[in-house]
Amino acid sequence: MENNFKRTKILATIGPRTNNEESIQTLIKEGANGFRLNFSHGEYSERDQQIAWIREKSEKMGRHVAILQDLQGPKIRLGKLQAPIEAAAGDEFILDYAAEGQSDNVLPVQYNLAQKVKVSEPVYIFDGKIKTIVTDIVSETAIKVRLENSGTLMSNKGINLPNTDFAGDIITEKDMRDIQYGLNKDIDFVALSFIQSPDDVRQLRKILKDGGSHARIISKIETKAAIEPEVMEEIVKESDGVMVARGDLAIEAGDFVVPVVQRKLIELCRRHCKLVIVATQMLSSMTDNPSPTRAEVSDVANAVIQGADVVMLSDETANGDYPIETVQEMRRIIMYTQTNISVENPIEKIAKPNHENRHAISRAAVNIAKQLNASAIIAETKNGSTARSIAGFRPDVKLISVTSQKHVAQQLSLRYDNRSFVRPDSDDAGYKIAEELKDDGYFGTPPATVVIVSGSQPGVAGMTNRITIRTIQ
């Protein structure tokens, strides 16, 4: 039996360090199941090339790989400064959206803060390193802030507004341009930043639907508003998946909330059969060093034990000195963890029906596979719902999905435990793929038992209604 099948998947960010076809091919080979394209920066021509490389290399290697478009959202940054500014506590600066450049204590900013913030609200600069307080709304485009601690102000550094209500203004003009770009591209997921309510998800859903996109929505949880208990579950239910965006979440809500929010989000996503990605600083020390810290190893392992579908690498693969080694290390941690300890919580406490028939059949398939010590569960699926439902139970047996839709196979490549294949709709698609895999030695020495979940009307979504047990000789 194949000994390198990892249940928790790896999402790697493409950046300057890996912006070439050789690196993309190697990352796939070493265990990357998907790639994040960060739309906070970069040109569309660059994205075109990256998408082409990913699809070319994944097809050549016979592996379905997901592409995630990560929108910037209302991520605010300083503009271009003449030079870094060494600032001290008590210094005051004006942040002006209308400023074309730096002049004295006036600094350009890439968002009209004057329309959103209030006096006495905190404004964090340089990803939380510098805390300031709003002391005045100077004009329709400018605010005055006072530094609470010393630090260095630099061009294009991020600004966080943890107490600011964006009042539904989450999808920016830049985001709209980026969404329009992605509508006709081979993109599997769109990640929406700084979500505050389920309405933000609904707004993006309408835009994608009206544009004819098949992309699924990943809600990035990184604001105080989004982690309110009643809000958080509603966001999960409206989304196709969530990203625990731990970096900005720590700045917006406090470091101390992150471990608890992560655990709650993973449980909610499992309950509702939604994809969950744990992101930010998973192996951040490997940006500059060839080995991770013990704390980072524990962090990745805990995400695996909690049942995350995906762990994500950011700067580690985008800008780091050891992108390939980082993916190798993450895969090694995942494999060792899943081999030696089970995912937390029995399925009886996690899974919750979102489609009663499918849910019941999925639960039964997982239980049957476990009782029979089956080699795999095979899900025949049109739009991926059956495979997602089965994955929600976190089976400890291989999950194989077969679909006639290429984009569905790509999206399922980030699902827990799943390996996807594209084949024509038929009454015996599951059995045929089992025979193919047997011939490739996927199940080890025959015979092998497989549990096939299918529908009586192949190719029709929502018709999952049968379980078949087959022995592959």
- Catalytically annotated residues: 36, 77, 220, 280
Q: Read out DSSP for 101-151?
A: S-BTTEEEBSS-GGGT--TT-EEEETTTTEEEEEEEE-SSSEEEEEESS-E
Q: Of 374, 300, 370, 285, nearest to 330 (Cα)?
A: 300
Long-range contacts of 131-135 (CB under 8 A, 24+ apart): 132/93, 135/92
d(CA 240, CA 248): 21
Supply φ then ψ for residue 20, to 5 degrees. -160, 155
Residues in the chain: 473
Count other C-beta atoms under 10 Å from residue 123's C-beta: 24
* Residue tagged 């047997």 (tokens): 438
Burial label, 84 (beta-carbon count in 10 A; 0-12, 13-18, 19+): exposed
d(CA 326, CA 329): 5
* Residue tagged 């998408």 (tokens): 51
447 preceded by a cis bond (ω within 30 of 0): yes
d(CA 465, CA 373): 22
Q: Of 434, 266, 468, nearest to 361 (Cα)?
A: 468
What is the DSSP code (8-state) at residue 447? P
The bridge status of strand 130-137 relative to strand 189-192 is unpaired
